[in-house]
Amino acid sequence: MRRTLLGMALLGLGIAAGAARVQTQAPTTLSFFITSAGSGDGANLGGLAGADAICQKLGAAAGAGNRTWRAYLSAKADGAQPAVNAKDRIGTGPWYNAKGVLIAQNVADLHNEAVTKVGKENSLTEKGAVWNGRGDTPNMHDILTGSNMDGTLASGAGDVTCSNWTSNKGDGSALVGHHDRQGGGANPNSWNSAHPSKGCSQANLVATGGAGAFYCFAAK
């Protein structure tokens, strides 16, 4: 009788452990997040490839490494490299945050201010944490994009991408958005095109109201 009870107990433990493994390995809907950490080197992200690698690493750590992650960043033409629009890098959607909330159904919805759910409540990190915004200490609502409100490369003859995301200098600039959709600048309520940063160094990004964070989307 004792052996029977012991066997049943062990069987129950095995079933529970198997269920736990299944739950752990269940696919995640995560397909959009703000990086919980940037490069730590200002706007020097190692170019678009380096930024994508950061997205991939953070996505994988959150259990979504099977997806192809892309940074929502635009870049200027440079030699043989043509100009890049952020909206063209991120796939077709739909995109969900770490809590399973739909951010946008497609690229058009993402850039439609009346439809997109990008905002402080829903623009979470890959860990599901709320990112600091205006009124928080420190304020980190400036998100690197280098983009216009429609997701194309930011207009202007000057530097709008911190040398295509390779500069950590005190000068230069990057267009940033406000993930909480409030603050100052030409478009204070824009999540992706609010104003230029004061420079490209980590200190200058912090002084502007940011931390070198950027958006990541699952392209596949």
Does residue 148 sit within a domain?
yes
At 2, the pLDDT band (50, 70, 90 cuts) reads very low
**With 0-12 CB in 10 A as exposed, 13-18 as middle and 19+ as buried, what is 63?**
middle
At 21, the pLDDT band (50, 70, 90 cuts) reads very low
Does residue 111 sit within a domain?
yes
CATH number of the domain to which 168 belongs: 3.10.100.10
Task: Say yes or no to pLDDT of 185 above 80.
Answer: yes
Domain limits for position 160: 28-218
Share of the chain above pLDDT 70, in %: 88
At 28, the pLDDT band (50, 70, 90 cuts) reads confident
C-alpha to C-alpha distance for 15 and 133, rounded to whole angstroms: 44
50-88 confidence digits (pLDDT tens): 999 999 999 999 999 999 999 999 999 998 889 999 999
Q: Identify which of 116, 127, 98, 137 has the alpha carbon closest to the alpha carbon of residue 181.
A: 116
Does residue 13 sit within a domain?
no
C-alpha to C-alpha distance for 51 and 134, rounded to whole angstroms: 25
Does residue 82 sit within a domain?
yes
Does residue 112 sit within a domain?
yes
Give the number of other CB atoms < 10 A from CB of residue 78. Answer: 14
Domain count, the chain: 1
pTM of the complete model: 0.87
